[in-house]
Amino acid sequence: MAKKTAIKKRSVLKRPAKASSKASSGRKGAAAKPASKAATGKSTKPRRPSGPAWQWSAVETAAAIRSGAISAVETVEAHLERMRAVNPKLNAVVVDLSEGALKAAHGADKQRAKGGALGLLHGVPITIKENVDYEGRPNFNGVPANKGLIAPSDAPVVRNLKKAGAIVIGLTNTPEFSFRGFTDNPLHGLTLNPWDPDITCGGSSGGAGSAVAAGIGTIAHGNDIGGSLRWPAHCNGVATIKPTQGRIPAFNASAAAERPMLAHLMSAQGPLARHVADVRLALEAMSQRDPRDPWWVPAPLVGEKPKRPIKVALAKIPDDMDVDPAVAAALRQAADHLERSGYRVSEVEVPDINGVWQTWCDIITNETVVMQEAGMLKVTSEDFHRAWGGMKAKANVLDLKGWMQATAARNGHIRAWQSFFEDYPVVLAPTTVKPTPGPREDTVSAERAREIFWGEIRFISAINVLGLPGAVVPVALHDGKPIGVQLIAGRYREDLALDAAAAIEKRAGVLTHRLWQRMG
């Protein structure tokens, strides 16, 4: 059992002033239920959720389409109209699939009219990140030279979403080779954050985060090898889950070669959405088996209930990380929300977060240098070169023995964390300890890029080498910009991370409702 640490002057369990703005409570995630004929004695029409259709949650949207309160065509049209209204300023969606989406919506309505079972996301508009295969289209992954990589079939995650009835309205932007935490590339340009163009939308799923926050699609697909779901969720004020490796199948038939082993083991597909309930729904749809991924695991989506009250470890932040007061306030606020929801929160030293991050950095950097670096540098921009130089600056150069030692160390780190979860089933941790940086800040210098990954988002990137699930949920606004926190759980316990995220969301509200008031 990990010992509780004494609360020192840097402890986030101290109660600083709350972040400057409180989120609005927002609409609840469940769809309004029509009164039954038996209860009223009358025939009643299905009721629509309030507000424009593009503002509804995925749960509400799916229920409204299933009940006949709205058609799939009307739903898709509402999201396409929203995309046309806000995307020109954001550049979040870089491939417009309107024509195919409307055709699919007409088909969805015909299918519903025939009766029979409908998928979890029947008729629900979504977006896909432009770094997975979408049949018949180039898998650009932010690189103009990839124009010849035409996808012969849909990637498993795309196939699963379509099987669930989701309708893809567009493909979202990503940095070159999805290898930066900032979304910009020579092919499509810079994606902006809908809250403030002077801060990054994150990366590499920055287009996904920006789009879903702005109301383009109810769910956005993304992926994460060093924070690429959780970092954009934080930056854009939305929720996400980076699942356990093996939870959601992955494969790109367009790829010229198989991915290296550790890159595959540290990467995960996942959803971003405005509501935690939508993240959970999308996770279920995405998680279906696909034989093309040999690492897919048929694990249940809900595990054994832990002993109550559930103990949450508020991760003690290393002394060399300079924590902004607004971040400390948001962490305390999240801990308070959990306490009031019946959890028991204690500030605790988590197992060797610094060593875990260094193992992640060493493994991913050396694997990339050996397998991919030369090819990437030939076809990428100077911005990419600067950012990549900064990211790899803190990595140790490993020979074969060093590489084997690093992969062995990974096993030890995973074992330590799994043992830790026996006492604390959920860890509450920061996403970043600093305010959200500018949209191209990783290109300022190698030192600045290193500082961001090591000094600011250490708790995000480290989790990838462990293969653990991590959810992010918004907590508050500070100076008009969103702050999120991370909930980490044991392997294949996405349910515990999402339960804790939902408890925070219930009290913090849904931040994007504030954003829409500002955007109009």
Confirm whether 19 is domain-assigned: no
Task: Decide if pLDDT at 27 tops 70.
Answer: no
Indicate whether 22 belongs to any domain: no
491-494 long-range contacts (CB < 8 A, ≥24 apart) are: 491/244, 491/418, 491/467, 492/244, 492/247, 492/297, 492/299, 492/300, 492/303, 493/244, 493/303, 493/421, 493/425, 493/469, 494/241, 494/243, 494/244, 494/247, 494/283, 494/301, 494/469
Domain membership flag for residue 31: no
Residue 466 belongs to some domain of the structure: yes
Range of the domain at 180: 53-519
Q: What residues form DSSP beta bridges with 96?
A: 170
Q: Is the pLDDT of residue 29 over 80?
A: no
Burial of 97 per CB tally in 10 Å (0-12, 13-18, 19+) = buried
> Does some domain include residue 10?
no
Residues recorded for the chain: 520
Q: Do the domain assignments include residue 175?
A: yes
- Can you point out the beta strands (E) in 324-409? 344-348
Name the band, by pLDDT with cuts 50, 70 and 90, for residue 44: low
Instruction: Count each helix (H run) and each strand (E run) in the chain, helices first.
Output: 18, 11
Please write the tens of the pLDDT for every residue from 401-412. 999 999 999 999
Q: Residue 13 — pLDDT band, cuts 50, 70, 90?
A: low
Residue 3 pLDDT = 39
Catalytic residue among 205, 210, 228, 267: 228
Catalytic position from the list 71, 129, 178, 381: 129
How many Å apart are CA 508 and CA 516, to the nearest integer? 17
Q: Per-residue pLDDT tens for 379-390?
A: 999 999 999 999
Q: Which of 57, 178, 204, 205 is catalytic?
A: 204
pLDDT at 20 over 60: no
The SS3 of residue 157 is: helix
Window from 110-119, 260-269, 367-376, 407-416 with minimum mean pLDDT: 260-269
Gyration radius from the chain CA atoms: 22
- Closest to 202 measured CA to CA, from 237, 168, 160: 237
Contact 27, 57 (CB under 8 A): yes
Average pLDDT over residues 219-244: 98
* Confidence at residue 21, expressed as pLDDT on a 0 to 100 scale: 40
The reply to whether omega before 309 is within 30° of 0 (cis) is yes
Q: Are the C-beta atoms of residues 459 and 486 closer than 8 Å to each other?
A: yes
Strands of 157-274, DSSP E: 167-172, 219-224, 239-242, 268-273
Model confidence band, residue 116 (pLDDT cutoffs 50, 70, 90):
confident
> In the annotation, is 228 catalytic?
yes
Sheet holding 426-430, edge to edge: 93-96, 167-172, 125-129, 219-224, 268-273, 239-242, 470-478, 481-489, 426-430, 311-315, 344-348
- Residue 17's pLDDT is 43
CATH classification at residue 158: 3.90.1300.10
> Do the beta carbons of residue 259 and residue 233 sit within 8 Å?
no
Mean pLDDT of 303-321: 97
| Mean pLDDT along residues 72-81 | 98
Q: Is residue 187 part of a domain?
A: yes
Count up the domains in the chain and report the number: 1
What is the pLDDT at residue 5? 34
Q: How much is the mean pLDDT over the chain?
A: 92
What was the pLDDT predicted at 393?
92
Q: What is the pLDDT of residue 520?
A: 74
pLDDT band at 261 (very low <50, low <70, confident <90, very high): confident
Count CB atoms within 10 A of the CB of residue 383. 18
Does the pLDDT at position 278 exceed 70?
yes
Q: Is 254 a domain residue?
A: yes
Q: How confident is the model at residue 502 (pLDDT cuts 50, 70, 90)?
A: very high
